[in-house]
Amino acid sequence: MVVLIVFAFLAGIVTILSPCILPVLPIVLSSSIGGGKRRPFGVVAGFVASFTFFTLFLTLIVKAFGVRADGLRTLSIVIIFLFGVSLLVPQFQALSERLFSRLSGFMPRSQERQGFMGGLLVGISIGLLWTPCVGPILASVIALALTGEVTGTSVAITFAYALGTAIPMLAILFGGRRLLTKVPFLSKNGARIQKAFGVLMIATAVAIYFNADRTFQTYILEKLPGYGTGLTKIEEIPAVTRALRVLQAQPNSEDLGKPMFEMLDVEGTAPDFIAGGQWLNSPPLTLAELKGKVVLVDFWTYTCINCIRTLPYVQSWHEKYAGQGLVVVGVHTPEFEFEKNADNVKKAIADFGLTYPVMQDNEFATWRAYNNRYWPAKYLIDAKGNLRYHHFGEGRYDETEEVIQKLLTEAGFKVADQPVANPSYEIQARTPELYLGYGRIQYLASPEPLVKDSPAAYSAPGNLPQNFFSYQGIWELGEERANPSEGSGLRLNFEAKNVFLVISPKQGSGRFEVLLDGERVNSSDAGEDVVDGTVVVESDRLYDLIHLQTPGRHLLELRFLDGNLALFAFTFG
């Protein structure tokens, strides 16, 4: 993993230029004022330690102690605010210096220990507020942390990333101090400049508290759409991609560099099923009782459009090979809370016509046992119980079926001469999956501050950036979902062929209208769930809104006819 550590360090160095970092830079620059020569080192040390620790362990802390992540973020904002006050009010600064003097008696000199400890506290706060536009390397580490899997490699990669980021941060801190001492005008007006930085730090803390930093990022990306897009290229070279596949999938496998369909060597003993809910279409199964048969394990969830598109192939393999030694087991691992409901899963199984066994994995236990990271993901287990193949995402159906046939033949089953799957579609989407709850929200262009768990008014900007969406009217945003009030709307600038939306009725049913490029969507462009330009929502599932003849960029508008809906995520194809 040396490759990932080295490139994580390089990615950290260039991340200072990312548009997501700009709102935090005033805090970094303001931290260079006062506090002795050790202040910058304290800021950097606090940042590296805080960013590394909370990136890896925040999820575990929240689960273990019931601490809200938002509470820690708010505490950091308060600390930043108070440091701004200390720059602005001499009496408060003297009080804080006495406090740090007591906390840091191990340091050799009073001024230096005060400066280092003060900087350390600011750095810890910055580490919690620092939300970089992460590239593939750090994103993979965060995905590991979300499922509670923190390894020595994860720690080393995150630390290297933070250390790389600390280098330009230290340069900013020392550069600011040097300017103040070397430029005559600045040195003569040091007291006024300190107060100005105090105001800047206070204003930045208030702006971040009210999520105005999101509005600022949106403005930057709208005015400079290409800004920062090349910063992740350093993480996309082939050597990094190969190392990421090992990190993300099977850490001990040396076969991951081979094409998927050639991976017929033993990858290790397959983990057993660990149910986190009911077994559906079958009594509980174990790999021990399935010895002698080939087993296909399919991780999916019923609102994932990528999963839904693979289900016909999985069902066809069950129908073609169940009598010839293949057992298909669907592992339903939920992305949203309502997907844990067994009745919802049963209805989805019936809607998709699935007849093979499906188990609920509500606690992600089987997901973690397989070191899985993706929806959908398929694993093939041979007749001896060994993992022999895996494939993540859509596609390669013919190759997967060839492996099924080879493993069945290897196990002594006589496989009928049947043609393999031949997919007839291509993925046509450039807009990424968009989450609408504040927990994972991105690409929100509404200029108002984001308000959590309370109704608030939002509006749409005059020029909606590409792949961004905006709320209009009164919305209440939860961690996973967004609830519109009657008469509210949503606008989305997307590029794709098909548009889907995960929706749930709060009670009974709800309705909304669908407009495309300013007009009610016509029947030729409407998805299967749109009738006369209107969608009626009666159950928790993925709704098909738009089916274009050819992919392109369009403006989608939704107008809500009641306040009885919860919206979770857009997906595209």
pLDDT digit string, tens, across residues 235-267: 556 677 667 666 654 433 333 333 333 344 555
pLDDT digit string, tens, across residues 398-442: 888 888 999 998 888 887 656 555 544 444 457 888 889 988 887
Separation of alpha carbons 520 and 27, rounded Å? 47
Angle (nearest 5°) at CA 264 between 260 and 269:
110
Looking at per-residue pLDDT, the higher value among 57 and 298 belongs to 298
Per DSSP bridges, beta strands 541-560 and 482-484 are: unpaired
Task: Report pLDDT for 265.
Answer: 52
pLDDT digit string, tens, across residues 61-95: 755 666 655 577 778 888 888 888 877 887 766 67
What mean pLDDT comes out for the span 34-60? 79
Task: Report pLDDT for 246.
Answer: 66
Separation of alpha carbons 312 and 228, rounded Å? 40
pLDDT digit string, tens, across residues 324-377: 899 999 999 987 777 888 888 888 888 888 999 999 998 888 888 888 877 888
3-state secondary structure 21-40: CHHHHHHHHHCCCCCCCCHH
**CA distances from residue 2 to 9, 33, 241 in whole angstroms, order as listed:** 11, 37, 13
Task: Report pLDDT for 107.
Answer: 47
Q: Which residues contact 385 (CB under 8 A, 6 or more apart)?
A: 269, 270, 287, 288, 291
Asked whether the predicted pLDDT for residue 499 surpasses 90, the reply is: yes
**Percent of the chain clearing pLDDT 70 (strictly above):** 75
The pTM of this model reads 0.49
Q: 220 pLDDT band (50/70/90 cuts)?
A: low
Q: Which residues contact 47 (CB under 8 A, 6 or more apart)?
A: 123, 124, 126, 127, 130, 162, 165, 166, 169
Q: Is 553 helix (H, G, I), strand (E, B) or coil?
A: strand
Task: Report pLDDT for 211.
Answer: 63
User: What domains are there in the chain, each with its CATH number?
Assistant: 2-223 (no CATH), 249-410 (3.40.30.10), 434-572 (2.60.120.260)
Separation of alpha carbons 58 and 247, rounded Å? 20
Query: How high does pLDDT run on average in the chain?
Result: 78
What mean pLDDT comes out for the span 162-172? 85
Burial of 417 from C-beta contacts in 10 A (0-12 / 13-18 / 19+): exposed
Q: Which residues contact 343 (CB under 8 A, 6 or more apart)?
A: none
**CA distances from residue 393 to 130, 268, 298, 373 in whole angstroms, order as listed:** 31, 21, 11, 10
